[in-house]
Amino acid sequence: MEIRNIAIIAHVDHGKTTLTDALMRQTGAAAEGVSMDSNALELERGITIYSKNTSIFYPSASSGRPVTKINIVDTPGHSDFGSEVERVLRSIDTVLLVVDAQEGPMPQTRFVLKKSLELGLKPIVVINKIDKSAARPEVAHEAVLELFLELGANNEQIDFPTVYAIGREGIAKKKLTDESKDLTPLLDTILEHVPPASAKAVAGKATELQAQPFNLAYDNFLGRLAIVRIYAGTLKDGQKVFVKKPTGETYAGKISKLYTFEGLKRKGVTEVVSGDICMLAGLPQIYIGDTITASEDVPALPAISVDEPTISLNLVVNDSPFAGRVGKFVTSRQIRERLERELEVNVGLKVDFSSGEFITIYGRGELHIAILLENMRREGFELQVSQPHVLEKIENGKKLEPFEEILVDVPEQMSGAVISKLTERRASLLDMKTVDGQTRITFEAPTRGLLGYRNQFVIDTKGLGILSSRFTAFKPHAGEMKHEKSSSMISMESGKALAFSLNNLQDRGVLYIGPAEEVYIGQVIGNTSKGEDLYVNPTKGKQLSNMRASGSDEGIYLTPAYKLDIERAMEIMSDDEYIEITPAAVRLRKIHLTQIERSKAQRKAV
């Protein structure tokens, strides 16, 4: 049986997972309603967070044609998880580049395509969502061709096959005028243009075993699992192997379990042949980029690099007045063990346990770290985190910081406010185009400038704008920048918030709490746009008397509270605040709860 290995890549929300689900349904690999996005957070947010493997068999055995196994890797589209995409591209033979027929190429489209072209892959372009009312498939195709040329594609890569699709309905066409009722045109294009994944030894002409992990998983019984591509030879269950690390170190091990993928399930097998993708257990020290061989003489494969983090924050045990009320896991030992398990599979994450007072987490972006913290919250952990800070480094005596390419789509009349705010944050305007009243603006800005901006962007564009970004490189430090930070509204009392008091406070700013919610001294219950921090009493009730006066008993109308989640809290918090994360609530609080403690801390800092 021939094997084809492909990855589906695209910008976030361009339809990768929907298309993969449709391919599985058509080939009988998954039932109706089953999705590759199985994680609760993925289903809620509608984005792919973790790359996943599946395989389908096409055509069916009853067709009389030779059956081909197609291994598919569904990759994340968000830039914070870009390191997942890079690793996958090293281990497959072709990519399906999915592009929205209305939006055309976006920042992450450029990133994943650039990596694919550099590796010599020949993409198949899928113009998806051609049923949208504002879809412009021909324009999107031209924009993709321009992007190929701009990124230096060779003649073979520029001559890419194009398929038009409606992933949600499971329909694909080779031409827009074709009639189609399923994804057969796309499957036939894959068989026609993707080379068979036979022996593809990267180093030398090895006939003996050569395999390389490109992803990790974890099982409570089997320990660390590695998802590997077999480049040459055969891998067998129970086989003794050698693992070669990029550092030159070699150690021996034994395969205890072997699995291949069938649909969404993994199937235990006794051997895996060259060209296939499998999951293995038994090598607890295995890591991405290592080479698995049957003998010490076989050369190692080129190493796979993992992107370095761009932001960091400190994590501490929850010590607020409400600590331990709802959490099951509240101690530093439990938090440490959970983070150590996360390091088994989350290769874009780094954790420093060296300090006795806090744990420092390094990640690829706010979303990358927020997803980890949200998963921990749902598992029953209680903890507190500090304000995220961008990582800087020194090279050749120069201070460098991470920069991002930002692409903004906004109604034309709102573009001025966006340009004004981003240029204040040291962003450089690279390109600007207006079509049919919609303006697309491209910026380059330091990552620092984006921290805390997304919420302001939603307000400036009244929710009608789309902002996407991708990390580009570490570049010289952009200098100081002005951040318009709102001041905090801080509770002076503990107790239950009362509607009477909140009614007066909502005129001064935005509230994060509603009536009858418990608060404590030092908790941030809202923000105010002007002046310094405001100390308030949300528990103050109406003074009662037996006298009535006209107008004193009017109804209370409260604006719905601005409910905090982890990402929102990261954007609006100040550097003297913590986010308190519990299974029941996300709160903001001052690090030093009372004014006396804050005054002492300020004197010490001076």
CA distance 44 to 72: 23
**What average pLDDT score do residues 163-167 get?**
95
Asked whether residue 16 falls in the same domain as residue 35, the answer is: yes
Asked whether residue 134 falls in the same domain as residue 159, the answer is: yes
**What average pLDDT score do residues 511-524 get?**
95
Residue 482, domain member (yes or no):
no
Residue 601, domain member (yes or no):
yes
CA-CA-CA-CA dihedral for 341, 344, 345, 346, to nearest 10: 80
Asked whether residue 252 falls in the same domain as residue 401, the answer is: no
pLDDT of residue 476: 93
Q: Which alpha helices (DSSP H) does 309-453 contain, by range?
A: 332-345, 366-378, 415-424, 447-450
Amino acid at 299: P
Asked whether residue 13 falls in the same domain as residue 93, the answer is: yes
Indicate the residue among 193, 225, 254 that finishes a domain: 193
Is 304 in contact with 288 (CB distance < 8 Å)?
yes
- 292-338 pLDDT per residue, tens: 999 888 888 888 877 788 899 999 999 999 999 999 999 999 999 99
Asked whether residue 85 falls in the same domain as residue 181, the answer is: yes
Asked whether residue 449 falls in the same domain as residue 502, the answer is: no
Residue 148, domain member (yes or no):
yes
Does the pLDDT value for residue 552 go beyond 80? Answer: no
pLDDT of residue 428: 93
Does the pLDDT value for residue 204 go beyond 80? Answer: no
Residue 12, domain member (yes or no):
yes
pLDDT of residue 208: 84
Query: Of 273, 269, 301, 272, which is closest to residue 288 (Cα–Cα)?
Result: 301
Q: If pLDDT is split at 50, 70 and 90, which confidence band does 522 have?
A: very high
- 374-404 pLDDT per residue, tens: 999 999 999 999 999 999 999 988 999 999 8
CA distance 71 to 260: 10
Which residues, 6 or more positions from 497, have their beta carbon under 8 angstroms from its beta carbon? 513, 514, 515, 516, 517, 518, 519, 525, 538, 539
Three-state DSSP class for residue 92: coil
Query: Of 164, 106, 172, which is closest to residue 135 (Cα–Cα)?
Result: 164
Residue 508, domain member (yes or no):
yes
Find the CATH number of the domain harbouring 535: 2.40.50.250
- Asked which of 13-27, 42-56, 405-419, 464-478 is least confident by mean pLDDT, the reply is 42-56
Tokens in use for 205?
A: 């002409």
Asked whether residue 547 falls in the same domain as residue 532, the answer is: yes
| Rounded percentage of the chain residues whose pLDDT exceeds 90 | 53
CA distance 422 to 405: 12
Amino acid at 506: Q
Does the pLDDT value for residue 551 go beyond 60? Answer: no
Is 172 in contact with 58 (CB distance < 8 Å)?
no
φ and ψ at 57, to 5 degrees? -120, 125
Asked whether residue 34 falls in the same domain as residue 170, the answer is: yes
Q: If pLDDT is split at 50, 70 and 90, which confidence band does 38 have?
A: low
Strands (E), 17-101: 52-58, 68-74, 94-100
Does the pLDDT value for residue 244 go beyond 90? Answer: yes
pLDDT of residue 77: 66
Find the CATH number of the domain harbouring 65: 3.40.50.300
> What secondary structure letter does DSSP report for 381?
B
Is 514 in contact with 558 (CB distance < 8 Å)?
yes
> Cis peptide leading into 59, omega within 30 of 0?
yes
Q: Which is more confident, 217 or 161?
A: 161
**What average pLDDT score do residues 405-416 get?**
90
Asked whether residue 329 falls in the same domain as residue 371, the answer is: yes
Residue 428, domain member (yes or no):
yes
Mean pLDDT (the chain) is 87
Q: Which is more confident, 187 or 207?
A: 187
φ and ψ at 23, to 5 degrees? -65, -40
pLDDT of residue 201: 44
Is 522 in contact with 594 (CB distance < 8 Å)?
yes
Residue 205, domain member (yes or no):
no
Indicate the residue among 364, 387, 410 that finishes a domain: 387
Asked whether residue 183 falls in the same domain as residue 68, the answer is: yes
Q: Which is more confident, 217 or 157?
A: 157
Tokens in use for 162?
A: 């194009």
CA distance 577 to 47: 30
Q: If pLDDT is split at 50, 70 and 90, which confidence band does 34 have?
A: low
Does the pLDDT value for residue 42 go beyond 70? Answer: no
pTM of the model: 0.84
Per mean pLDDT, which of 100-109, 167-176, 564-573, 597-606 is the most reliable? 167-176
Q: How many CA atoms, within 13 angstroms, populate the side-chain half-sphere of residue 99?
A: 33
**What is the distance of C-alpha 43 from the center of its chain?**
13
Q: Which domain holds residue 227?
A: 210-293
Q: Is the dihedral of CA 546, 552, 557, 562 positive or negative?
A: negative
**What average pLDDT score do residues 220-234 get?**
90
pLDDT of residue 577: 94
Residue 200, domain member (yes or no):
no
Find the CATH number of the domain harbouring 272: 2.40.30.10
Q: Is the dihedral of CA 393, 397, 399, 405 positive or negative?
A: negative
Find the CATH number of the domain harbouring 348: 3.30.70.870
Q: Which alpha helices (DSSP H) does 354-440 contain, by range?
A: 366-378, 415-424
pLDDT of residue 36: 66
- 253-303 pLDDT per residue, tens: 999 999 999 887 889 999 999 899 999 999 999 998 899 999 888 888 888
Indicate the residue among 341, 359, 387 that finishes a domain: 387
CA distance 406 to 421: 13
Q: Is the dihedral of CA 245, 251, 252, 254 positive or negative?
A: negative
Q: If pLDDT is split at 50, 70 and 90, which confidence band does 202 have?
A: very low
Query: Of 550, 543, 581, 540, which is closest to residue 564 (Cα–Cα)?
Result: 581
> Domains in the chain: how many in total?
5
Three-state DSSP class for residue 240: strand
Is 334 in contact with 320 (CB distance < 8 Å)?
no
CA distance 336 to 316: 10
Tokens in use for 82?
A: 């870009």
pLDDT of residue 90: 84
Tokens in use for 380?
A: 């029953």
Tokens in use for 393?
A: 């480094």
Buried b (16+ CB within 10 A) or exposed e, 187-211: bebbbeebeebeebbbeeebeebbb
Asked whether residue 451 falls in the same domain as residue 518, the answer is: no
- 69-89 pLDDT per residue, tens: 999 988 876 666 666 677 788
Asked whether residue 352 falls in the same domain as residue 429, the answer is: no
